[in-house]
Structure 1
Amino acid sequence: MITTSVARIILAPREQQVLEGLSGGSTLAVVALDLKIREGTAAGYLKLAKRKLYGVSENAAALAVGYTTEAIARPPLLDPETLFLPDGQRDIVPLLARGMAAAQMATELKRPVDIIRRDGRDLLTNLRARNRAHAVKRSWEFQLLTAEQVIAWLR
Structure 2
Amino acid sequence: MTMSIGRVILAPRERQVVEGLADGSTLATVARNLKIREVTAAGYLRLGKRKLHGVSENAAALAVGYATQAITRPELLDPEGLDLSREQRNLVPLIARGMTTAQMVPELKQPVQIIRRYGRELQQSLRAKNWAHVVTRAWQYQVLTADHVIASLRGPQC
Q: Which runs of 5+ in 1 are unaligned?
A: none
Runs of 4+ aligned structure 1 residues displaced above 3 Å come to none
Please name the residue that 2:78 is paired with: 79
CA deviation vs aligned residue, 1:54-96 (integer Å, no higher than 9, x gap): 0000000000000000000101111111210111111101001
Please name the residue that 2:146 is paired with: 147
Normalising by structure 2, we get a TM-score of 0.95
Please name the residue that 1:47 is paired with: 46
Q: In 1, Cα distance between the equivalents of 2:150 and 2:96? A: 12
**How far is 1:3 from its partner?**
3.8
User: Which one-letter code corresponds to 1:144 in the other structure?
Assistant: V
Q: In 1, Cα distance between the equivalents of 2:103 and 2:51? A: 24
Q: Which runs of 5+ in 2 are unaligned?
A: none
Q: Secondary structure at the match of 2:15?
A: helix
**How far is 1:4 from its partner?**
2.4
Q: In 2, Cα distance between the equivalents of 1:143 and 1:106? A: 25
1:25 and 2:24 matched: yes
Number of aligned residues: 154
Q: In 1, Cα distance between the equivalents of 2:22 and 2:56? A: 15
Identity %: 68
CA RMSD of aligned residues (A): 1.1
Normalising by structure 1, we get a TM-score of 0.96
